[in-house]
Amino acid sequence: MTTSAIPSRDTVVIKPIRGLAPLDLKLLWQFRDLLFAFADRDIRLRYRQTVLGVIWVILQPLLGAGIFSIVFGLIANMPDQGVPYFLITYSGFLGWTLFMGVVTRVSPSLIAHASLIRKIFFPRLLAPLGVLPSVLLDFLVGLVLMVVLMAIYRVAPGWGLMVAPVCLLTLLSLSLGIGLVAASLSVKYRDVQHIVPFFIQLLLYASPVGYSVEAIPEQYRDLYFLLNPLAAPLEAFRWSLIGTGQPHYGYLAYSFVISGVALLIGTIVFRSVEREFADVI
């Protein structure tokens, strides 16, 4: 008597996704060890065989803040509101590097794991999620330096520090949503990898990184906040640390909603084309 080919409880049956499938959080949790492996590998490769190593994580925002301090503080003579202009630019760069790091690291993540995607099965979302720990580690190093600078300049944060987590969550959600869309498109359209850095460079000068929103003419501020959802969380994050500018809670809530929508759209786009990654990449 022959037994029928019925899969046992230990057998995993892999079926192609048809249509838009919901996000399988249970499957992501089952592959959590692979996520940790991706994160560990990304951190190790980032600093392996480098002369500066982690020092570059400190130098990058310091140099950027220094240049912006000269351009906007000395040459353009932007108002400093009684705070050293270097702190204004560095606090802006601190939030900006989190946004930039996620977008620029997530967008090429699928291409970087092309060999694995072609050969083995795993939730493809783990590839972009695996780069987040290294970005957050870079941000943490920059935040520690921010605390040191505030101590040197004798600038103490107030109760507004409670707003900082909302700002960071908004920046993280918005950047991850954009990164997921870029990663999905870059599998088929490789020129996306060239468009993203150019887009990021333009957005840097269009965002309140080296200057405060107070420098924008009052009649254009509403439009500025509406067109650039980065403006409110960057400005509120700076205010939460050093007290310059205003938090603009209404526009911060607007940016928070936009970031949630961006993350949702990014996840939908990623899931809708996920089944084609192995064939196209």
pLDDT tens figures, 15-25: 555 555 567 67
pLDDT tens figures, 125-161: 888 998 898 899 889 988 999 999 999 988 888 788 8
- Whether residue 48 is predicted with pLDDT greater than 70 in this model: the reply is no
Q: Each residue of 77-100: b (16+ CB within 10 Å) or e?
A: ebebeebbbbbbbbbbbbbbbbbb
Domain residue ranges of the chain, discontinuous segments joined by +: 52-280
- Reported as a pLDDT band with limits 50, 70 and 90, residue 9 is low
- Whether residue 62 is predicted with pLDDT greater than 60 in this model: the reply is yes
Q: What is the pLDDT averaged over residues 197-222?
A: 88
Query: What pLDDT shows up at residue 49?
Result: 56
Look up the pTM and report it: 0.85
